[in-house]
Amino acid sequence: MTSVCVRQDHKSLYRQLMAGMYDALLVTDPNGHLIELNPRAIEYFLYKQEDVWDKPVATLIPGVTTQMVGRIRKGLEDSRHIMLDAKCQRKDGSSFAAEVTISVIDLINSGDLVFTVRNTERRRRQWQELRSRANAFECAQSACFVCDSGRLFRAVNRAFLRMFGVANEEAVLGHTFDEMMPDDPLPGLFDRALAGEQLAYRIGADTDTNKVAEVEVQMAPDRQGKDKIVGVVGSILQV
């Protein structure tokens, strides 16, 4: 009797843990048929638990067929878990990219499988946004730069290299803003941006032809969150 109570307590504890998990959890029997979903899985997949009871896990994760479940079980004999990238299917027909981790648990049957599903759509979207911003930075006509709070260059674009006549990024990174742009009022503008000010300033500059040109300098604080300033971003454009 004691052992039955302990086993039941373990099941109760496990279900409480399932309910509090950030990731979606799908529990299947050893053959890959669904027997339990946690609240996050219901939110992700738009199915109620009774809608998918005893259906193959491929209903939610297409491609994880009965044959694949067999291969997964065989792989789990030599590993604590298996990870795969998947395209998951919602009840409304839409899909989302996910990382799926599969492991074994003795919950209802010995050898039940747990599929932990982490939606990666947001991460992929953020990564794409970062790549797009990096491409825009690199292709900008103005000379763009990023410096840390110690005034060291962390990134510059091709237009910056052309404007300052340097061969590659390595010739700039690790050098200070004041080394590359020591003339007033630039160091002072940097200080103001580092203090939180966003500014645009036009100054005259001597060109190689000894004519005077005007450049527009823009600088702004590089913020991490709302309050923390980690450096300065800026651009210089000849006008």
| Prediction pTM value | 0.54
- Distance CA(37)–CA(14), nearest Å, equals 12
User: Is residue 172 pLDDT above 90, yes or no?
Assistant: yes
Task: Give, rounded to a whole angstrom, the gap between the first and last alpha carbons of the chain.
Answer: 86
Confidence label for 76 from pLDDT (cuts 50, 70 and 90): confident
pLDDT tens per residue across span 223-232: 988 789 999 9
CB 125 within 8 A of CB 117: no
Q: Is the pLDDT score of 6 beyond 50? A: no
Whether residue 2 is predicted with pLDDT greater than 50 in this model: the reply is no
Quick: pLDDT tens for 131-167.
777 777 888 889 999 999 999 999 999 999 999 999 8
**Sheet of 82-89: strands edge to edge?**
34-37, 24-28, 112-119, 95-105, 82-89
How many other CB atoms sit within 10 Å of the CB of residue 92? 9
Residue pLDDT, tens place only, 104-132: 887 677 889 999 999 887 777 767 777 77
